[in-house]
Structure 1
């Protein structure tokens, strides 16, 4: 498994996942840039994602839903803040209703993803920043840490193909 660490920092309201891959930066970037590839790893294995919108430009929108084992759908959205292909992407990530509109009563995070060359491999750092300790704990209680670990764990198979 490529995930090397998952750290929760309550004082700074951050959650950071670090993964190392035996693939070049550009190849790892494509797992974010291509919505069909993103669908194959975004979400835990039992909750595959389907991306409806995928505009990775500043101000762009990304909408998706994950389908659970019982056929239940969980919708989400991103608002892209910045992008610097093939090394970084920053976006606000939140829950959505079935129309893809942000669910205002649910927490959101700002996620910053960065890819760097590290010891002949590609290191991916994903840092989520929360608005409050309560929102952070709510998402952690919902399984965010484990779900993200499982999701990123699927990237190795895609990079080997």
Structure 2
């Protein structure tokens, strides 16, 4: 398999973060890991935090409302509003932090996730556009790169375990 690609680029001029990650797993399994609540909640938070989904309707116009929960029980809520879905190739959503009652803190960010089958390996190309440079800088200062890198490592381990079943 060799080395799998992992690239994380921040472009302040375009207010965009680009993440490219290859996984040693079949496309259908990687797609499910990003789109099924029971799998998402196993990896969509940097350890020791956990992801807890309250609502998930993976359809255009649907949403995922979830919290990242610290070991002490501190909750950080977010809403993902799905705007476009092309099965097993692409989906897009608007993401905003929110309170526990689903009141969004705008502006948010636009996520565009592309999935490519590379003969048994899957490439995920994520573009995150922020309306506001301030919000993007806040995300970066909060440790988004380190946190998301840890999160993708958790996904990689989970996919290895799921692939062996």
The answer to whether the superposition gives a TM-score over 0.5 is yes
**Given that residues 12 and 133 in structure 2 are in contact (C-alpha distance below 8 angstroms), is that contact kept between their aligned partners in structure 1?**
yes
Structure 2 residue aligned with 1:42: 44
For the residue of structure 1 that corresponds to 2:105, the secondary structure is coil
Q: Which runs of 5+ in 1 are unaligned?
A: none
CA displacement at 1:82 relative to structure 2: 0.4
Misfit runs of 4+, over 2 Å: none
Instruction: Name the structure 2 match of 1:154.
Output: 154
Q: 1:72 to 1:28 in 2, by over 3 A?
A: same
For the Cα contact (< 8 Å) 2:25–2:121, is it kept in 1?
yes
Cα RMSD after superposing both structures: 1.6
* CA offsets 1:72-114 (integer angstroms, 9 cap, x no match): 111111110101111211001111111122124xx41111111
1:76 aligned counterpart, secondary structure: strand
Tell me the residue number matched to 1:130.
Answer: 130
Task: List aligned pairs for 1:111-126, cutoff 5 A.
Answer: 111-118=111-118, 120-126=120-126
- Within a 5 Å distance, the mapping from 1:31-110 to structure 2 comes to 31-104=33-106, 107-110=107-110
Residues 51 and 66, structure 2, Cα contact 8 Å, conserved in 1: yes
In the alignment, is the contact (CA less than 8 A) between 2:27 and 2:120 conserved in 1?
no
Number of positions where the alignment pairs a residue of Structure 1 with one of Structure 2: 159
Q: Is the 8 A contact 1:2 1:153 kept in 2?
A: no
In the superposition, relative to structure 1, how do residues 39 and 85 fare at CA in structure 2: closer, same or farther (>3 Å)? same
Corresponding residue for residue 13 of structure 1? 15
Distance 2:12 2:80 in 1: 23
